[in-house]
Homo-oligomer: A and B are copies of this chain.
């Protein structure tokens, strides 16, 4: 059984557009925040230290998102994060989100670990990889 990292964020005034629903680029802010919280609380690798002290980064390589249902001001958005695939330096995340039990957005989001010194991809640190593996979606 794979682990799931699950968080809930309130939809704030600042997330919403003149139609009263989340302006879609802000979903990516929330997705990024879920990833930060996964590092810090799920993987016990404080994300701010990973970036600022270890001088690593996780730029986005690609993202594919289906926006299935809207989220409205005042909703509570639940984001569930799993790992779809681990490459040598790339991490493909499978991310689902819900308002109550209605699906909101579904994403396949790929980042890679890189060095802020060299601006080049580097292997996922071993210990971090081991902590990521339990989140791998089970093969069928």
Contacts and interface: CB of A to CB of B under 8 A. Distances in A.
B33 A28 contact: no
B18 A20 contact: yes
Interface string A11-43: 111101111110111101100110010000000
A128 interface: no
A53 to B, nearest CB: 9
Contacts of A103: none
Interface residues of A, number: 40
The oligomer's copy count stands at: 4
A118 to B, nearest CB: 12
Interface of A: 11-14, 16-21, 23-26, 28-29, 32-33, 36, 46-49, 51-52, 57, 59-67, 70, 72-74, 116
27 contacts: A12-B32, A12-B33, A13-B18, A13-B23, A13-B48, A14-B17, A14-B29, A16-B18, A17-B17, A18-B19, A19-B116, A21-B59, A23-B32, A24-B28, A25-B25, A25-B28, A25-B29, A47-B74, A48-B72, A52-B74, A59-B70, A60-B67, A62-B64, A62-B65, A62-B67, A63-B63, A63-B67
